[in-house]
Structure 1
Amino acid sequence: MKTQPPSKSQAPVLIINTVGFTMLKHVQRFTLAMVSIVAAACVYDAPVTPKDNSITAATTSNSPSLQVTASTATSGIAGRYLVVYRPGGAASSDVSAALRSSGGALEGAYDKLGFAVVSGLSPERAARLGQLSGVSSVEPDVEFAIDPVRPAEQLETGDVDIQSVAAPQGAFFYGFQWSLRAIAADAAWAGGSLGSPDVSVAILDTGIDYRLPDLAGLVDLNRSISLRPDEDARLADAVSNGWFPAGLHPITDLNAHGTLVASLVASKASLFAGVTSRTTLFGVKVCIVFNTCSTAAILNGIVYAVDQGADVINMSLGGAFLKKLNPGFVSVINRVFNYANRNGTVIVVAAGNEAARMDAFANAYFAYCDAPHVLCVSATGPNAVVGGQVRNPDTFASYSNFGRSVSVAAPGGGLTPSLLSFIIGQCSQTALAWHQDAPPSPGAPPPPPVIDGPACQPPPGFISIVAAVGTSFSSPHVAGVVALVIANGQTQPSQIRRIVERTSDDLGAKGKDPFFGSGRVNAARAVGAIP
């Protein structure tokens, strides 16, 4: 017997227990399930607290302080560096020659953009590399944290084998996907906009579980790549431990973040719908199971995705660093994003979750909202759940960063006690559970994280789901809308960005504002399905 998807009239019942889980039970359709609530946003004690769509003007004095070097950026992979060339100076051949004598490795070389990524160097050898006449700077890699996505317990689905590619609202759990209705994705689908396999979106993230029913066949494995050899080694260990089958693609997601992001962009809509159902995805793994992403790998990944013909790049990652400490990164980021724009790729980035007014930190570079030619996305989400229904889904999210660089807003989830205000999706089947012990003594560094084993391997007839909140999940809503606009015939990045901004629903102060930008995106209006 097949179970029907929950409808608006079939309101689910949510019960919060005392151990940090949410128990989800549909009174007519499901058996009991356990779903973990995720504190996915890094929220300060003094976030912006808007009421509904109205924003009380925030000033520098009442915005939270941002500890750039401590809270948002950390040292990257040991021995990995970004090498920035002087104009008309060094080339990869010069760097390669220097590396041969120092024992390092060239991970990526982009002479046309004036930089390279190297690894396996001690600080002393990196300093010697910086003395080459054609080298402007050699800077250590920087890692940023992503919104943690914690695996859930099992949810019984019964025999679900129907895909809803032509009618995504038929997805089993569509009744819980308020975020898609908030951006009028259903109206876009009704107008015939379901995406096109000729449009490709690169997901720069932790990878993608391409074997999930909602994603099977949508992910181009030939173009997918891992740029994290450390994560490749963890996958190999997991296979050798017997946790996962042999032969998995390196893009396999050991975290779950990238899988949730990817399925929001595009899904075959068996269990959960995405903004599109026919868009081609490919994964570029730049982040790891421990919720961190390498800036050097990200820059490598953007150039790779552009060269592979990506129409859109989604970047649900980023952070902030001090410009004076990383001038080479600022220079290369600008070069790389300009390169993407020249080659016809639209980049969508998450605004971040520090509840910070980005304009207030003149010495900080917010990656990647401060980069050129991006759609920077802030977050909206319900401020309450009443009777199983979300309320005010267009409320500005208290955790979201804001400022002049915000282009548009999109649903990222609300911080209410109810799971229904979160963004939910199926967990990666290859997600790993891990822990990190406390430092052995005050002031000492913590020991390395320890992998505990598989996190999401439910019995037959069940799935594991994740629930999350953050601008990480706002960004793929916009990337999906961009993919629909491109499938609708638009090709110029600047024109596509203008369409997305112009067709958004104006919220907050009239016109563009620092919280919602031009407004919350409207998929149906962006493709002309509604006026």
Structure 2
Amino acid sequence: MPRQTRRTFLRVSGGVIGGIAAGSTVAAAERTDRFVVDTSGASRRNGGRGDYEVIHDLSAVDLAVVEGRASAVKRDFRSFEPDLELRLDDPDANDAVPAGGATDEPLYDLQWDKQVQRIPEVHEITRGEGTRVSIIDSGVAAGHPDLERAVNLDLSRDFTGDGYDAGGPFAGYHGTHVAGIVAADDRNGAGVVGTAPGAEIVDCRVFSREGGATFGDVLAAIVYSAEIDCDVANMSLGAYPLPRRELGSFYGKALNRTTTYANREGTLLVVAAGNDAADLQHDKNLVSLPNEAAQALSVSATGPIGFEWDAAAAGADEEPAHSPAFYTNYGTNAIDLAAPGGDAYLDAIGSELPWYLDLVLSTVAEAEFDDDGTVARVAYDYSWAAGTSMAAPQVAGAAALVKSVNPGYNANQVESALERAAEVPAGYDKAYYGSGFVDPLAAVRD
């Protein structure tokens, strides 16, 4: 297929367990004071004396996240494992994007991702009204002018326990960028356009201000999303490559139990496939989480080369928006859909050419903190980023559109509608697309 080479930039977008780097197998960092436990009857020992604190009670899936001494947990439960630390790493390319964002630009004209999906035409049918999408991420800045009408602060939750609340940019720009791709306001006369601006957004913050999260927090956010009747939960986070044997079966079983529950309750889980240029179908004894979990809709990334800039001047061939991004993970039976996530011609970085226009433009917010940790000020802006983190919310937004016109659909029916409408572009390898490139217009007309 055209121009598909492994490179080093944009290696990871979203969460990575234990600071995983592309091409390595790194065991997840384990907490010594916090555990995920199986609370089912078969796993319980004799009652329990409560020598630990329950952080998340996930009774719906017979799990809990507890904090305390390992000896106390071992005494009361047969099946448990240490909670796993996750880290949120930003794409390298974001550091190279010019400062100041795109506040004064004609922003829809820069949104190749929405143009190729024919989003304005879709909005003549539906804007996603009547749907609810959770963003399980680093936090959604509800004060952003393009998001303030979309975020339900009453339902939003902080799962980190870091002393901050939900609805703010406490852990950086990532969650706000993801939320804008889903639901940025299309009727405020400024900024960018979201795929489903009529959808309601719930901020499920699982990454703390310091950038850390845990496996248990993510499980809790998935369960919560289902309990509050979210139609879609977007997870632009993940970990790869994890050694399947060393990881053991507990974490996979806990994750699959949780994702199956969410799907059964009607919440479609849309997950970024990862950015390691890895063939997930043939990576023996390795696993990618959570996109390889049961019931997860795994999304790969595509992007153009030469959108609104002269690629030939940098010695590059122009590529269409549906071309696979160089960093995206892929694999037959591992990818369900492909969507716009942004691409880049690396040789143009550092030049005066606007190479960053091939990334995805969306909402961002950056907080400044006083010495005591209180938020002093927040800057709301727009900027570019790329990764499967940006591709997943394109599909989450499309799912909200489908649900809006088919309110009786369950999660599987919404996914099926998206997959029926998608097609693999001619001349490209199906391994990068699953059912094909997302087509919201065809899906809502289905």
Distance 2:381 2:131 in 1: 30
Equivalent position SS for 2:301: strand
Instruction: Assess if the C-alpha contact under 8 Å between 1:182 and 1:393 holds in 2.
Output: yes
- Which runs of no fewer than 5 residues in structure 2 stay unpaired? 1-7, 14-20, 312-317, 349-354
Contact preservation (8 Å) 1:456, 1:464: no
Q: How does 1:13-52 map to 2 (within 5 A)?
A: 40-42=10-12
Which of 421, 425, 438 lines up with 1:507 in the alignment?
Answer: 425
Q: Could you tell me how far 1:279 is from its partner in structure 2?
A: 0.5
Q: What is the aligned counterpart of 1:194 among 127, 132, 147?
A: 127
Distance 1:376 1:339, change over 3 A: same
Deviation at 1:173, TM superposition (A): 0.6
Task: State the AA in 2 paired with 1:202.
Answer: S
In 1, the alpha carbon distance for the partners of 2:161 and 2:266 equals 29
Q: Is the 8 A contact 2:328 2:387 kept in 1?
A: yes
2:100 paired with 1:154: yes
Determine the C-alpha separation between the residues in 1 that align with 2:327 and 2:213.
Answer: 20
Give 1:370 deviation, angstroms: 1.3
Indicate the residue corresponding to 1:405 in structure 2: 334
Distance in 1 (alpha carbons) for counterparts of 2:201 and 2:432:
29
Q: Which range is displaced more, 403-412 or 475-484?
A: 403-412
Q: Report if aligned partners of 2:102, 2:383 keep a CA contact under 8 Å in 1.
A: no
1:305 matched residue in structure 2: 225
For 2:145 and 2:22, the matched residues in 1 are separated by: 43
CA shift, 1:313, in A, is: 0.2
2:416 counterpart SS class = helix
Question: What is the distance in 1 between the residues matched to 2:278 and 2:377?
Answer: 33
Contact 1:382 1:395 in 2 (8 A): yes
CA offsets 1:99-144 (integer angstroms, 9 cap, x no match)? 2xxxx3211122342211012x3xxx31442243x42123232315
Bigger shift: residues 497-506 or 201-210? 497-506
Contact 2:424–2:430 (8 Å) recurs in 1: no
Alpha-carbon distance in 2 for matches of 1:78, 1:432: 30
Amino acid at match of 2:221: G
Deviation at 1:146?
A: 4.5
Contact 2:367/2:375, CA 8 A, preserved across alignment: no
Query: Aligned residues, how many?
Result: 407
Superposed CA deviations along residues 455-477 of structure 1, whole A, max 9, x for unmatched, are: 963xxxxx643321100000000
* Aligned equivalents of 1:306, 1:291: Cα separation in 2: 25
* Structure 2 counterpart of 1:293, from 213, 220, 223: 213
> 2-side partners of 1:155 and 1:333: how far apart?
37
Of 422, 425, 437, the residue aligned with 1:520 is 437
SS of the residue 1:473 aligns to: helix
Label 1:515 to 1:200 Cα distance change in 2 as closer, same or farther (>3 A): same
Alpha-carbon distance change, 405 to 419 in structure 1, aligned in 2, over 3 angstroms: same
1:79 equivalenced with 2:51 (yes/no): no
Q: Provide the rounded CA distance (Å) in 2 between the counterparts of 1:431 and 1:421.
A: 29
Q: Distance in 2 between matches of 1:144 and 1:157?
A: 30
Displacement of 1:74 in angstroms is: 3.7
- What's the CA shift for 1:80? 2.2
Give aligned-pair identity as a percent: 25
* Cα deviation, residue 252, structure 1: 1.2
Q: Which residue of 2 aligns with 1:211?
A: 143
Trace 1:118-137 onto structure 2 (pairs within 5 A): 118-119=66-67, 121=68, 125-132=69-76, 134-137=77-80
Report the Cα distance in structure 2 between the residues aligned to 1:222 and 1:391, rounded to whole angstroms: 43
Q: Which letter maps to 2:251?
A: F
Q: Distance in 1 between matches of 2:238 and 2:117?
A: 24
Q: Secondary structure at the match of 1:264?
A: helix
Listed as ranges, the matches of 1:100-119 within 5 Å are 104-119=52-67
Give the distance between the partners of 1:263 and 1:76, measured in 2 at CA: 33
Matched, 1:374 2:296: yes
Answer whether contact 2:357 2:384 (CA < 8 A) is retained. Answer: no
Whole-Å separation in 2 of the counterparts to 1:305 and 1:431: 29
- Residue number in structure 2 paired with 1:493: 411
Matched, 1:266 2:186: no
- Secondary structure of 1:514 counterpart: helix
In the other structure, the counterpart of 1:177 is 111
Note the C-alpha offset of 1:295.
1.2
Q: Conserved in 2, the CA contact under 8 Å of 1:253 and 1:431?
A: no
- Post-superposition Cα deviations, 1:213-245, rounded to whole Å, max 9, x if no partner, equal 111121111110000112x3xx4xxxxxxxxxx
Moved more, 475-484 or 282-291: 282-291
The amino acid that maps onto 2:11 is A
Alignment correspondent of 2:356: 419
Does structure 1 residue 354 correspond to structure 2 residue 276? yes
Aligned residue for 2:367, secondary structure, equals: coil
The TM-score with structure 2 as length reference comes to: 0.82
Partner of 1:67: 24
Q: Does 1:141 align with 2:78?
A: no
Aligned-partner SS, 1:222? coil
Deviation per CA, 1:464-503: give whole Å up to 9, x if none.
Answer: 4332110000000000000000001152211111111110
- The DSSP-based 3-state class of the residue aligned with 1:68 is coil
Distance 1:525 1:515, change over 3 A: same
**Equivalent residue for 1:316, pick from 232, 236, 239:** 236
Q: Indicate how the Cα distance of structure 1 residues 185 and 94 shifts in structure 2: closer, same or farther if over 3 A, else same.
A: farther
Question: 1: distance between equivalents of 2:101 and 2:264?
Answer: 46
Q: Partners of 2:282 and 2:22 in 1: how far apart?
A: 9
Could you tell which deviates more after superposition, 80-89 or 261-270?
80-89
Describe the shift of the 1:488–1:146 C-alpha distance in structure 2 as closer, same or farther (beyond 3 A). farther
- Counterpart Cα distance in 2 of 1:87 and 1:351: 35
The CA distance in 2 between the partners of 1:477 and 1:156, in whole Å, is: 20
Structure 1's 41 and 288: CA in aligned 2 closer, same or farther, altered over 3 A? farther
RMSD of equivalent CA atoms? 3.1
The alpha-carbon deviation at position 291 of structure 1 amounts to: 4.2
Alignment check: 8 A CA contact 2:102 2:382 kept: no
Task: Show the counterpart of 1:90.
Answer: 44
